[in-house]
Structures are given as structure tokens and as C-alpha cells.
Amino acid sequence: MSRILSFLPLFTLVLGLFGCADKYQSYRSLYPFKSPNGQPDYANLDYWAAHPNKKDPSDSIPRPLRSETRDTIADVFFLHPTTFTDKKEAARSNAAIDDDYINAKTDYSTILFQASTFNQQSRVFSPRYRQAHIGNFYGADSALAVQALQLAYSDVRNAFRYYLQHDNNGRPIIIASHSQGALMAIELLKEFFDNKPLQQQLVVAYVVGWPLEKNSFTSLRACAEPTQTNCVCSWRTFKMGYEAPWVKKEQERSASLIVTNPLSWKIDTSFVSRQANKGSVLTRFNKIYKRTADAQIQNGVLYSYRPHFPGSFLYRTDNYHIGDINLYYLNIRENLRERLSTFLRTTGNNQPAR
């Protein structure tokens, strides 16, 4: 976590894609559990936003995709973005693990719309963690921000250790993440995978929505080809031509960042037309919008012209952070299938689904 502070101004709020927050109120009654000590207990399914031993929103499949063949031969460990955003709660550095509203919001936004991307050939595990409040990424007290992020990561670490001990059984692993979750994923990859035996079980890591420096790892490298395995993909999405203030500050070191084009799955600067976009899942989960967004890597980020979907002429934002995964939903889904196929073929790791 030592380098977190240099990237704090880059964090962008994950709101808007999933609609009005008030809709989560109706789900609060689904989360009555209370932690006796304020800490997560990962032996209890209540402390998992997604887990193969319970029905949860990560199991959802958009209606047009329900004829797909499913084979959960691998495991996805998904780390969700910030959902602790209420300004009235800013005095609390970290979310309570048993906050019914935050848990409802998490499950019916990011778990439904993002974690589901990876469910075709993988069991999805996503731990609840005492995430840092959004204010930690903008506040002046950097010491408190680091403490909040360290607490969040301590939960992620404990959840992953529990998963390894009780659920993995040698199965292929995919790390997937977004925003604050991507920051957690970087630390997880360093601690458990990079130049360690577990790296041999890593199919791919999708570290999305946070800047990832190439020198973050000793042996893990950027994925340079669409079927490459044991590597890392990362991108942050902006409107073509837009230069956020923090991106301008990064330009001197942009060559040192891992950036993946999620349409070509290469790391060059070639423009890829939206014709290559297999489909996006936006505010309507059961609707697939095809050929929505193009993609081109420039200056350490991913750019796209304004996406094409009904009513998109009203879409005025220049920062597409909220759509980092959803704009490329089907391409990610297909890419994971291809990488996993390569991984199983080359390693012979064909563990039976459990």
C-alpha cells in the first residue's frame, strides 16, 4: 500500500450506471445479519457478496445469453468497487461489514452488473470487505486514508486465505476487480501470486479502473495477446480527446502503465472500431447493446468515442469509468473463455467442478 497516495486523486466515483440509489432500499431486508465483533467471518456465507454455495446476483445471466453452455471449471475471485459513498457517512473511514444498505447496494449493482460478466465458465467468489469510504480518495488526511485502505485489504487478504484453504482445491484462478477493488487486487497479486507457486494457477487478472504500473510486479507481465495466460490486463476508459487533469500529470510516466485494449486484447495503440464490440450490458441487465464502444490506447489510458446506444446523445460525461467493464461485457466474457481454454490445454489443469 506504500504507493497508494500518489494515485488517490485518480479515483473516480462508481455511480450512475446502475441507476438511482433509492432502489436498493427494497433489498435491505435481505441482509439482517449482524457481526458480533464488527469483523467479517468468511466461514459464514453472509460475508460473501457472491459465493457458489448460495444464490446471489452474480449468478444472473442476461436473457440473450441464457442458451450459453456453462462449465464452472475455474474460480473467479472478484473484488468489487466502492459502494460506500454516502456523504453523511464520511466521518466513518470504513464501511461496517453488516450495513444492510451497503450490502444491498453492492449486490444489486456491481455484483449483478460486473461480477456476472465472469460466470460462464467460473464459480464466482466475491467477499464483503470493510471498504474505504469514497472520501478517503479525496480527503487531505493521507495517513487516515492509508489506514482505511489497509483495513480494507486486511479483509480481502483474510477472505482469499479462507478461499484457498477451503474452496480452491487446485482449480484455475481468475482475479477480477474494478476501481477500489482493483487497488486491492494489485496488493493481492503481489502477496500471493507474483513470483510465487500460486502464480501457476493464475489464468489471468483483470485489474480494471485503477492505474497499474508495469514495475508493480517481479514476474507477472501485461497480457500482450488475447489468449495469453498467467498475465495481467488493465484499463481505464475516457471519451476520445478528453484529458482529465490527473491523466495530464501521468503522461510523463504513461509508458510505464499497463493498458489493455479490451477489443483487441493487445497493448499497442491501434484504433479498434466499435464493430468489434460484441455487446455491452448497461442499465438494463437483460438487454445486450451491440457495437456500442470502440477503443484505443493513448497516454496511459483507454479512449472511446461516445458510445452508441438508445439515447446516448444525452450521455455527456467524458469519464467512462462507470462503464469500464460494462461497455465491453461480452468481449470480456469471450476473452476469459479463450484464455481459460488455452490455460487448460497447456497446463493440463482440468480439475472437476465442485
The closest of 232, 253, 228 to 338, measured between CA atoms, is: 228
pTM: 0.92
- Please report which residue ranges of the chain form alpha helices under DSSP H: 100-106, 112-113, 142-163, 180-188, 245-250, 329-347
Q: Which of 190, 161, 139, 128 is nearest to 3 (CA)?
A: 190
pLDDT tens per residue across span 15-38: 444 445 578 999 999 999 999 999
46 belongs to a structural domain? yes
Residue 132 inside a domain? The answer is yes
What residues have CB less than 8 Å from 165, skipping those under 6 apart? none
168 in any annotated domain? yes
Query: What does the pLDDT read at residue 119?
Result: 97
Residues 6+ apart with CB under 8 A from 248: none
- Tell me the three state secondary structure of residue 173: strand
More confident residue, 144 or 268: 268
What cell numbers appear for 239 in the block? 471519451
How many whole angstroms from its chain centre is CA 7?
Answer: 17
In a domain, 43, yes or no: yes
**pLDDT above 90 (res 312):** no
- With the C-alpha atoms ordered 33, 34, 38, 43, is the resulting torsion angle positive or negative? negative
C-alpha pair distances (Å), 59 with each of 30, 53, 220: 17, 11, 30
* Mean pLDDT, the chain, whole residue set: 90
**How far is 336 from 3, CA to CA, in rounded Å?**
29
Is 352 part of any domain? Answer: no
In total, how many domains does the chain have?
Answer: 1
DSSP state of 215: G
3-class DSSP state for residue 59? helix
- Boundaries of domain holding 195: 4-346
Q: Report the amino acid identity of residue 218.
A: T
pLDDT 10s digits, 193-215: 999 999 999 999 999 999 999 99
pLDDT of residue 2: 47
pLDDT band at 87 (very low <50, low <70, confident <90, very high): confident
Percent of the chain with pLDDT over 90: 78
Of the two residues 350 and 113, the one the predictor is more confident about is: 113
Sheet holding 202-208, edge to edge: 48-50, 122-127, 74-79, 173-178, 202-208, 231-233, 221-222
pLDDT at residue 88, as a whole number:
83
Q: What is the pLDDT of residue 96?
A: 97
The answer to whether position 351 is within a domain reads no
The answer as to whether 354 is a domain residue is no
Q: In whole angstroms, give the CA distance from residue 107 to residue 202.
A: 25
Residues 121-142 pLDDT 10s: 999 999 999 999 998 888 767 8
> Is residue 76 assigned to a domain?
yes
Task: Quick: pLDDT tens for 278-305.
Answer: 999 999 999 999 999 999 999 899 999 9
